[in-house]
């Protein structure tokens, strides 16, 4: 046996092609529609809107660009406040800074790991008292699990604040029968390489407001006014998705339902193998919701498990298994030092606790049961040795 041969790596969430992508790409090449815009873009937008059940969709170059356009369309500018979930990837909040506005971060709550309605309520009350209500609230559906939308929409409705759903991680997830991303004024999705479907890079902005989506397409195309010569009366961006990548997206969208099933099966295999172990708790699924289980996430209580989440990440990496801590909350990021933050309870910072104890396991929809068994055995061994060593 050649002991110098390395085991193959198991990645967190690698791309998973359907096999039909090449056909769509070939079509784009045959018609020489290589440029941004073209028939694949139009079809991708239409098919996507149908899939999630919304009126209109604009295909753009990234999920971040989609959030930026949503804020632009809501008139967010310098001096405005925007509320945002703290437990998320930095891309959820960067567009607030692009617009020169002030982010205010809202904690997570234990049942969804999404925005805490309790913290949001306090934040809105205080903002109303100060006469500085936010221009928008960005709600993130974390790792595919929908946030408590009924409570959040009711609160925002009371104060007349529009909701932007960051469903970058939650395509294919549902909340009481509705798709993640279709319940607020705007929804956004990402087709980055690690997401549940990918175009290598890309995003989608959706809304039932057709005028807003048409305006988004204009802003995403350098805000060119209708004139033969190049006329511009407003600031725009170069945010449109290329026709080639939209072709990849169409092929990926066809297998979305299968990808959701596969990720949910990955989650269930982890759960049945690991749930009984001391200190291990899996991310919950709120009743009435169905997560796409984009990433299998769990928490490790170090005292019971004998090993911390961070130590497990290193332990898995030694065996070429990629895992990750849960997102570092934005209110703890140096970039946002000094930013206003509303925790779930007075002495209860849920997102900080989830960051300390959270672990995301390899969750790719193409992962084989054999590969998953390798992850499970390695995890069990890590917990055993951690407990034995009293780390």
Ligand X SMILES: *Cc1c(COP(=O)(O)O)cnc(C)c1O
Residues that bind ligand X (CB under 6 A): 62-64, 88-89, 91-92, 140, 166, 168-169, 190, 192, 203
Residue with Cβ nearer ligand X (297 or 307): 297
Q: Please, what is the minimum distance in Å from the beta carbon of residue 183 to ligand X?
A: 16
The rounded distance, in Å, linking the Cα atoms of 119 and 135 is 17
Of the candidates 221, 224, 252, 230, the residue with the CA atom closest to the CA atom of residue 37? 221
Phi, psi dihedral angles at 298 (to 5 degrees): -150, 165
Query: Cα–Cα–Cα angle for 53, 55, 56, nearest 5°?
Result: 115
Q: Which is nearer to ligand X, 194 or 311 (CB)?
A: 194
Residues contacting residue 149 through CB under 8 Å, at least 6 positions apart = 139, 175, 183
Q: Which residues contact 312 (CB under 8 A, 6 or more apart)?
A: 300, 323, 359, 379, 382, 383, 386
Q: Scan for tokens 């009126």, then name that residue.
A: 55
> Of 216 and 280, which CB lies nearer to ligand X in the complex structure?
216
Tell me the pairing of strands 296-300 and 178-179.
unpaired
Tell me which residue has its CB nearest to ligand X: 63
Enter the tokens of residue 218.
Answer: 């204009």
Residue 62 or 296 having the CB closest to ligand X: 62
In the complex, least distance from residue 216 CB atom to ligand X, rounded to whole angstroms? 15
Question: Kind of pairing, strands 102-106 and 324-325?
Answer: unpaired
Cβ distance to ligand X smaller for residue 189 or 267: 189
**Residue (122 or 240) nearer to ligand X, CB:** 240
Tell me how far, at minimum, the Cβ of 47 lies from ligand X, in Å. 19
Which of residues 192 and 357 has its CB atom nearest to ligand X in the complex? 192
**Beta-bridge partners for 242:** 36
Contact 37, 270 (CB under 8 A): no
CB of 303 to ligand X, least distance (A): 30
User: In angstroms, what is the minimal distance from the CB of 115 to ligand X?
Assistant: 12
Distance (Å, whole) CA 102 – CA 123: 14
**Shortest distance, position 269 Cβ to ligand X, whole Å:** 23
| Residue 338: CA count within 13 A, CB half-sphere | 2
Instruction: State how far the Cα of 146 lies from the Cα of 286, in Å rounded to an integer.
Output: 8
- Of 240 and 378, CB closest to ligand X: 240
């Amino acid at each position: 046996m050649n002991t110098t041969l390395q085991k193959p790596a198991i990645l967190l969430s690698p791309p998973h092609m359907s096999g039909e992508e090449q056909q769509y790409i070939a079509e784009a090449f045959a018609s020489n529609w290589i440029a941004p815009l073209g028939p694949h873009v139009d079809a991708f937008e239409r098919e996507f809107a149908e899939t999630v059940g919304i009126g209109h969709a604009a295909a753009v170059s990234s999920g971040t660009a989609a959030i930026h356009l949503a804020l632009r369309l809501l008139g967010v500018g310098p001096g405005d406040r925007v509320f945002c979930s703290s437990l998320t990837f930095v891309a959820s909040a960067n567009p607030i800074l692009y617009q020169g506005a002030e982010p205010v971060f809202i904690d997570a709550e234990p049942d969804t790991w999404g925005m805490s309605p309790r913290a949001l309520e306090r934040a809105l009350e205080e903002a109303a008292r100060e006469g500085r209500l936010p221009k928008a609230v960005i709600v993130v559906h974390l790792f595919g699990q929908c946030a408590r939308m009924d409570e959040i929409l009711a609160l925002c409705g009371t104060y007349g604040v529009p909701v932007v759903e960051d469903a970058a991680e939650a395509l294919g997830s549902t909340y009481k029968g509705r798709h993640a991303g279709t319940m607020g004024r705007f929804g956004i999705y990402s087709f980055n390489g690690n997401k549940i479907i990918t175009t290598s890079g890309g995003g989608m902005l959706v809304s039932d407001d057709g005028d807003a989506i048409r305006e988004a397409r204009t802003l995403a195309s350098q805000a060119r006014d209708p004139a033969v010569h190049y006329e511009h009366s407003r600031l725009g961006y170069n945010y449109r998705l290329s026709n080639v990548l939209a072709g990849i997206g169409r092929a990926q969208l066809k297998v979305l339902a299968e990808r959701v099933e596969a990720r949910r099966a990955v989650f269930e295999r982890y759960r049945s193998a690991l749930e009984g172990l001391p200190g291990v708790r899996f991310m919950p699924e709120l009743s009435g919701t169905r997560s796409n289980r984009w990433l299998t996430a769990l928490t490790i209580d170090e005292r019971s498990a004998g090993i911390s989440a961070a130590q497990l990440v290193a332990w898995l990496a030694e065996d070429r298994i990629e895992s990750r801590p849960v997102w570092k909350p934005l209110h703890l990021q140096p970039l946002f030092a000094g930013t206003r933050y509303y925790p779930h309870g007075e002495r209860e910072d849920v997102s900080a606790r989830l960051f300390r104890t959270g672990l995301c396991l390899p969750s790719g929809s193409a992962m084989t049961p054999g590969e998953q068994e390798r992850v499970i055995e390695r995890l069990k061994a890590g917990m055993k040795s951690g407990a034995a060593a009293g780390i």
